[in-house]
Structure 1
Amino acid sequence: MQSDWSLQPKHVDIFVDEKDLRNNIEALLKEVRPLWKPAEIKLKIFTDGITNKLVGCHVDQDMEEVVLVRIYGNMTELFVDRESEVKSFQILHAHHCAPELYCTFQNGICYEFIKGTVLDMWLLRKPSIFRLVAKEMAQFHSVQPDNGYSSEPVLWKNLSMYLTLLNSSHSKLATGVSSMDMNDVPSFDILSSEIEELKGHLSQIKSPVVLCHNDLLCNNIIYIEAKGDVKFIDYEYAGYNYQAYDIGNHFNEFAGVSELDFSMYPPQEMQVEWLKSYLEVYKECTGSEPEVTELEIQKLYVQVNKFSLASHFSWGLWAILQSRYSTIDFDFLRYARERFKQYFKKKDEILALQLPY
């Protein structure tokens, strides 16, 4: 019997042009919500995210049923595998970790809205909330996709792809941005050698490869207070990766996005509590002995902080690319500079951390 995730989702052959948003979305909803009357459909821009535009569509005043339409950002297909995203969405929905995907269209997807509170930098630090996030990530990491899903970690593949795009002649990124803009952004040669050094170091620390979210910032976590639960949304970057990368990347996101404040990175005491909650659920989900030892927590702590360096590096490269292609009003180069600055600031201290035995 075929799993439901392996079936192709409905595809609607429509291009949603932001200049004619309403008419295009009405045509799309005619396919997924044929009983909705066009005149009654209300649109709400939920977020002008830094990758895509997200529009909520509803007919009832209380927004009891909302269909989300996500329109992909300009040229994002260069660094987001859309086929893999759809596959991840369906796998995660089959394992109760994601909402329902209603359809794909030419330049986006249409899916179920999860009602709840989008986390912010302060909620993320509340013990009652961060324990829920740790538990949900543990369940996410224990999902076992069927065959046909690559189990190679995406980290090195992505870094290599970003470098290739940066260096490609058609992108003109290496020379096409003014030198003033590129101040404090490492040169291509430095970027290449740093990646090799990171790969050599991180490959030695044996973090398990699991199904990861890879982009767990505040806006991608919904707190459902009535259920005492959190859910993760947006699976553009989901795929197999190092367990410690996903957690380290999430810890980096405590600093925020628009105005980065790395003093908000969780201190060791908070990390230890977070990691203990995570390991309890992860071990239970994967059939291991449920008791979590101090050694396991310390080992994961070192792995996570080491992989947090790779997260800075990955999003730094990503942001340079976005500065070239994205039409979204966001200072991507400033963001890249901040991520690389933090990487070099913490690099020696973190690489010196020793795994406990």
Structure 2
Amino acid sequence: MWKQTGEASTEDEHRIEAVLAQVGAWRGQTMRYRPVAGGISNHNWRVADAAGQAFFLKVPGRGTEMFVSREASNEASRRAHGCGVGVEVVEFLPAEGVEIFAFAHGYRASSNLDFMRGTVRHNAVRALRAFNDSPRLSLTKTVFEAIDEHLAQITQVGARLPEDIAQMRRCVADAQDALQAAGMDLVPCMNDTLAGNFMINAADELLLVDFEYATNNERAYELALWFTEMAFPVEIEQEMIEAYFGRLDRAAQARVNVLKGLADIKWASWAMVQEAVSTLDFDFHKYGTWKYRRARTQIYHPDWPVWLRHM
């Protein structure tokens, strides 16, 4: 349901109106706004100006400052648009951490079902590769640094940890030693490749959105995280590795298999922090428990030592 400025009745609506008042181009205009469903970190809004031009606006959720550099996110959003795979950023309010985007008319958030189509998968690989191949971003944070950060935050906020976290940490350390010995390929990565962060149109063309967690990271992590979100069978994972790298070899598959486990540990730990700090209506503990459980299928797999040797 649309509202217009001056009609706010909830805390979130008062906050969005306060944000709109800070945009110079909109001062003195009667703006319309309505919430956009989806997302588990922020409050998302569709906004329209007096001329009817539409925009997409994100208001950071409580506690997201623990995970997100808004300046780095804005840099990555602009980079993606410059690469031809992202949406135009029309305004950035650093003090509020608010990005305002042109509305992607004709596009919708994709679902896992969309990626059952080969055309969509290959378009996704091309979009990710375009962003990954761009010059490095200002912020570097590898998956290892992100895991360490989240585990420290869990202690800080008193969140819950799994009983086998010590063993998990040993597996992460072994993976870090092996990957650093093999050589890391640090490139710009979205680091958040769930289906809803790919916008799709009727022609199966894709745009990448939501660069809040974007940093320079190991290139293969981008694919590994995407695979954990998509739950592809092995045959499709191999197809996508070959499409991305131009070849399918043992080292690439080993690296992706290791990083799939680390991706789940990273996001499971993130969820446990969110459980303690977020005000959003989402079962973060269930989400995190599921992620830890799936991580175990990788890091405790009989082939884990083999993957480490062949990265």
Which of the five TM-score ranges fits, normalised by the shorter chain? 0.7 to 0.9
1:199-245 Cα offsets, whole Å, 9 max, x none, are 2343344352211110010110011334x521100100011001111
In structure 1, how many angstroms separate the alpha carbons of the residues matched to 2:186 and 2:72?
17
Aligned to 1:67: 55
Task: Give the alignment partner of residue 123 of structure 1, picking from 114, 131, 149.
Answer: 114
Matches within 5 A, 1:144-155: 144-145=135-136, 149-150=138-139, 152-155=140-143
Aligned to 1:240: 216
Distance 1:48 1:20, change over 3 A: farther
Residue 315 (str. 1) matches residue 267 (str. 2): yes
In structure 2, how many angstroms separate the alpha carbons of the residues matched to 1:269 and 1:190?
30
Structure 1, unpaired ranges of 5+: 1-15, 175-181, 255-264, 280-291
Residue 42 (str. 1) matches residue 36 (str. 2): no
In structure 2, how many angstroms separate the alpha carbons of the residues matched to 1:293 and 1:107?
40
Distance 1:128 1:349, change over 3 A: farther
Contact 2:86-2:209 at 8 Å conserved across structures: yes
CA deviation after TM superposition for structure 1 residue 133, in Å: 0.4
In structure 2, how many angstroms separate the alpha carbons of the residues matched to 1:78 and 1:313?
17
TM-score by length of 1: 0.75
Task: Give the alignment partner of residue 46 of structure 2, picking from 56, 59, 68.
Answer: 56
CA deviation after TM superposition for structure 1 residue 153, in Å: 4.5
Distance 1:240 1:60, change over 3 A: same
Contact 1:32-1:103 at 8 Å conserved across structures: no
Task: Give the alignment partner of residue 228 of structure 2, picking from 252, 264, 272.
Answer: 252
CA deviation after TM superposition for structure 1 residue 294, in Å: 4.3
Residue 335 (str. 1) matches residue 287 (str. 2): yes
Residue 351 (str. 1) matches residue 307 (str. 2): no
Residue 133 (str. 1) matches residue 124 (str. 2): yes
Task: Give the alignment partner of residue 220 of structure 1, picking from 197, 202, 205.
Answer: 197
Structure 2, unpaired ranges of 5+: 1-9
Contact 1:163-1:317 at 8 Å conserved across structures: yes
Distance 1:60 1:27, change over 3 A: closer
CA deviation after TM superposition for structure 1 residue 326, in Å: 0.4
Aligned to 2:75: 87
Matches within 5 A, 1:165-180: 165-168=153-156, 171-173=157-159
- With 16-25 and 65-74 compared, the bigger mean Cα shift is at 16-25
In structure 2, how many angstroms separate the alpha carbons of the residues matched to 1:60 and 1:125?
40
Matches within 5 A, 1:180-329: 185-186=162-163, 189-226=166-203, 228-254=204-230, 265-279=231-245, 292-295=246-249, 298-329=250-281
Is the partner of 1:55 in helix, strand or coil?
Answer: strand
Residue 108 (str. 1) matches residue 108 (str. 2): no
CA deviation after TM superposition for structure 1 residue 48, in Å: 4.2
Distance 1:87 1:201, change over 3 A: same
Contact 1:130-1:274 at 8 Å conserved across structures: yes
Distance 1:350 1:313, change over 3 A: farther
In structure 2, how many angstroms separate the alpha carbons of the residues matched to 1:97 and 1:23?
30
CA deviation after TM superposition for structure 1 residue 19, in Å: 4.7
CA RMSD of aligned residues (A): 2.7
Task: Give the alignment partner of residue 24 of structure 1, picking from 5, 18, 24.
Answer: 18
Aligned residues: 297
Contact 2:224-2:260 at 8 Å conserved across structures: yes
In structure 2, how many angstroms separate the alpha carbons of the residues matched to 1:28 and 1:219?
28
In structure 2, how many angstroms separate the alpha carbons of the residues matched to 1:78 and 1:340?
21
Counterpart code for 1:137: L
Aligned to 2:7: none
In structure 2, how many angstroms separate the alpha carbons of the residues matched to 1:70 and 1:343?
30
1:115-155 Cα offsets, whole Å, 9 max, x none, are 31211011012111101001111111110147xx24x4422
Is the partner of 1:69 in helix, strand or coil?
Answer: strand
Distance 1:205 1:119, change over 3 A: farther
CA deviation after TM superposition for structure 1 residue 22, in Å: 5.6
CA deviation after TM superposition for structure 1 residue 315, in Å: 0.2
Counterpart code for 1:224: N
CA deviation after TM superposition for structure 1 residue 267, in Å: 1.4
Counterpart code for 1:125: M
Counterpart code for 1:83: E
In structure 1, how many angstroms separate the alpha carbons of the residues matched to 2:146 and 2:16?
35
CA deviation after TM superposition for structure 1 residue 104, in Å: 2.5
